[in-house]
Chains A and B, each alone.
Chain A
Amino acid sequence: MPKFYTVRHAALSLQLNLKTLSVLALLLPCVLACVLLALSAGSQWLSPLTVLNELVADGRYAFVLETLRLPRIVMAFMVGAALAVSGLMLQSLIRNPLASPDIIGITGGASAAAVFFLSFLAGSLSVYWLPVAAIIGALLTALIIYGLAWQGGVSPVRLVLIGIGLAAGMNAITTLMIVLSPIATSMTAYVWLTGSVYGTNWQDVSRLLPWLLVLLPWAMSLARSIDAQALGDATAINLGIALQRDRLLVLFISVGLAGAAVAFAGAVSFVGLIAPHIARLLVDRRFASLAPVSALIGGTLVVLADTLGRTVFLPLDMPAGVFVAAVGAPFFIYLLYRHQQ
């Protein structure tokens, strides 16, 4: 029996590992179980069996399940998956396990743009433009980071340092706008900043989905190049990788994923940081293996965090971002510690 299945078609070229496939097969039921649990939990507890019944045949709780809980859970999952893959790509790009979209300022740029929108444009423009504003903010920030880091090529270290510097600037701008805007707006903006999927409907889901459908397969198609880049600049060039072009592409896809996620759920931090680390514990270091596993783990993480957020502090609805950070940070420190042993 072969150890690998190689998928090769035109530009697409990736290796699938048997172990990865079995891990995925094991993960999938766990993910579904988590989703079921998330559907059951809420201000009114429904037993998982009832939930399954309701999903098949509409009943008394159809509204609660299909209009209130399910879109929110789907959104949380998509946001987590997007951030996880985005973080994974950045970590490969920067060759540093501590990188993630929130740390190098991409989420910060998206937040600044979104808060600007909420504070100054929300009166004149429909709130449907908010995601567009956030994505533009993320892309602009990434371009600025990339441009400033360019000195006859972009080195990962410079990219991350400049990103952190810029993140501080973006946070300052965000704070300034919150301080200057009226108190009601600033509260909305502030909650949004923490990362929350509160009040998601199916329309939101359908607007985020296209981004993922385009960007995730595109990321997979770069798997070979990303793996080669991890070997170091010289080796990657020797292997025939168009290094600077692919680096820009990886950055672009990663920013697109992060920007889209932030646009719909606010700045959920730490998912992009820890989901790839957990994935690395489970499967080998190929991007083609890590990406799907990271996506599943990231998605589940946000779903669980959101479930906690809307049940633990009833009647308050805590932003999912707080729980992700609370779980993510200690775990991240443990991972780093383990990594060094």
Chain B
Amino acid sequence: MKQTLNITMQRSLSATDFTNSPTLSRLSTRPLQLLLAALLLTLAFLASLAFGQLSIPLSRVITAFTHYDGSNTDHLIITTTRLARALTALTVGAALAVSGALMQALTRNPMASPSIFGVNAGALFAIVLTMTVFSISSLQNLIWVALIGAAVAGGMVYGLGSLGRDGLTPVKIVLAGAAISALFVSFTQGLLVVNQDGLDSILFWLGGSVSGRDLSLLQPLIPYGLAALVLSQLLSPHINVLLSGDEIAKSLGQRTGWLKLAMGVLIVLLAGSAVAIAGNIAFVGLIVPHMARAWVGADYRWLLPMCALLGAALLLLADLVARFLIMPQEIPIGVMTALLGTPFFIYLARRGLQNA
């Protein structure tokens, strides 16, 4: 049973559907689809600037950038809180989605994503540990801590999941991820009990949030994020080859070990910094690659940019909905994405076996 599941999952990810029959129509519509996704992202971005506790007409949103007036409260709201929030959601969404897509390729498992892999929980634990034990709370330092946590947890899950003769099966990875997540979550809870004053800030990390982040904090991260995105784009043709199987890739002269290592580093970089900025936001890395795959196919050269655009748009929209659903309070965005993602994960689990 495990074997068949594994094979089906590999098939659904395999490169066949673009190497064998890249129909002409599909090739020519891909740039158009990217454009559409970019349009969607722009709309989501503008909506995120305009709507909230206080709705601001779109014309005023635009004048806030073109003719900024420091005495206009609307302009102030947009350029301070709303812009920072929208940019955070955009960056985090894109980073999570791309790292999810890379993870799915690396493990050949359509259920892989940062939250399932325990990367979120690892980064979270590292952050909470440094905040409570060493009282460090500057974001610049926390990012590095989060990256270490993410790398440790991800490495543990990868190692645990690949123990045994049958190698990395989806079920083993998912179980190992759940076990490691449970471990880090329970450590995090223990720290909280020791330091009860920290509940508010820990709930921030636990529930995930893109609000309350200053632009100046986000700025130093953007070059890293962009570099990681560009690098993964450069790797994408090689990822396509890797997807046809380790042995084929090796016989075609690919150094699969190095490629996998590079992918691992990129995953940790993207997912870890996303957690450091916005806390525990689950399932974006799972859903978005599947949506993108349905749209542009499994060719990673197109899939990765699509993931970045759709991931950013999805998180912006989720954030927007989270503001309105239970006014005047806000639903933590991580909760929003988890509630969206759970049905999707279950759908994947059911479909994976039906095809077998």
Interface residues of A (CB under 8 A from B): 96, 98-99, 102-103, 148-149, 151, 155-158, 160-162, 164-169, 171-173, 175-176, 178-180, 183, 186-187, 190-191, 193-195, 269-270, 273, 313, 316, 318-319, 321-322, 325-326, 328-329, 332-333, 336-337, 339-340
- Chain A residues positioned under 8 Å from B341 (CB to CB): 168
With A102-B182, A103-B179, A161-B111 as contacts: A172 and B335 at CB distance below 8 Å = yes
Give the top 3 A-B pairs by smallest Cβ distance, nearest first: A322-B190, A169-B342, A172-B338
* A–B pairs, 28, beta carbons within 8 Å: A98-B176, A98-B178, A102-B182, A158-B350, A161-B352, A164-B175, A165-B349, A167-B178, A172-B282, A172-B334, A175-B203, A175-B206, A176-B207, A179-B203, A179-B332, A180-B326, A183-B199, A190-B192, A191-B193, A194-B189, A194-B190, A269-B182, A313-B194, A319-B189, A322-B186, A322-B187, A333-B156, A333-B160
- When the two chains form their complex, are residues A168 and B193 in contact, meaning their CB atoms are under 8 A apart? no
Asked whether B216 is an interface residue with its Cβ less than 8 Å from the other chain, the reply is no
Asked whether B24 is an interface residue with its Cβ less than 8 Å from the other chain, the reply is no
Best-surrounded residue of A165, A167, A339 (most CB of chain B within 10 A): A165
- Excluding A149-B350, A190-B192, A191-B193, 13 further A-B contacts by CB distance (< 8 Å) are A98-B179, A157-B171, A162-B349, A164-B116, A165-B342, A168-B341, A190-B199, A194-B193, A318-B190, A321-B186, A322-B187, A322-B190, A325-B182
Closest B residue to A333 by beta carbon equals: B160
- Chain B residues positioned under 8 Å from A340 (CB to CB): 163-164
Asked whether B354 is an interface residue with its Cβ less than 8 Å from the other chain, the reply is yes
Asked whether B339 is an interface residue with its Cβ less than 8 Å from the other chain, the reply is yes
Asked whether B95 is an interface residue with its Cβ less than 8 Å from the other chain, the reply is no
CA distance A164 to B339 in the complex (A): 13
- When the two chains form their complex, are residues A176 and B335 in contact, meaning their CB atoms are under 8 A apart? yes
- Chain A residues positioned under 8 Å from B115 (CB to CB): 168
Tell me the interface secondary structure of chain A in the complex.
helix
With A172-B335, A316-B194 as contacts: A322 and B189 at CB distance below 8 Å = yes
CA distance A332 to B175 in the complex (A): 13
Closest B residue to A186 by beta carbon equals: B199
Partner of B346, one of A148, A156, A322: A148
Closest A residue to B326 by beta carbon equals: A180
Closest B residue to A97 by beta carbon equals: B175
- Chain A residues positioned under 8 Å from B172 (CB to CB): 98
B199 CB to nearest A CB, Å:
6
- Chain A residues positioned under 8 Å from B189 (CB to CB): 190, 193-194, 319, 321-322
- Chain A residues positioned under 8 Å from B106 (CB to CB): none
- When the two chains form their complex, are residues B282 and A168 in contact, meaning their CB atoms are under 8 A apart? yes
CA distance A333 to B156 in the complex (A): 9
- When the two chains form their complex, are residues A168 and B332 in contact, meaning their CB atoms are under 8 A apart? no
Residues of B310-356 whose CB lies within 8 A of A: 326, 329, 331-332, 334-335, 338-339, 341-342, 345-346, 349-350, 352-354
CA distance A102 to B179 in the complex (A): 9
- Chain B residues positioned under 8 Å from A321 (CB to CB): 186, 189-190
CA distance A190 to B203 in the complex (A): 10
With A190-B192, A319-B193, A333-B160 as contacts: A103 and B186 at CB distance below 8 Å = no
A330 CB to nearest B CB, Å:
9
CA distance A194 to B206 in the complex (A): 14
CA distance A171 to B345 in the complex (A): 15
- When the two chains form their complex, are residues A162 and B1 in contact, meaning their CB atoms are under 8 A apart? no
- Chain B residues positioned under 8 Å from A171 (CB to CB): 338
- When the two chains form their complex, are residues B332 and A151 in contact, meaning their CB atoms are under 8 A apart? no
B2 CB to nearest A CB, Å:
6
- When the two chains form their complex, are residues A180 and B329 in contact, meaning their CB atoms are under 8 A apart? yes
- When the two chains form their complex, are residues A169 and B182 in contact, meaning their CB atoms are under 8 A apart? no
Residue interface bits B135-169, CB-to-A below 8 A is 1, else 0: 00000000000000000000010001001100000
With A325-B182, A337-B163 as contacts: A176 and B190 at CB distance below 8 Å = no
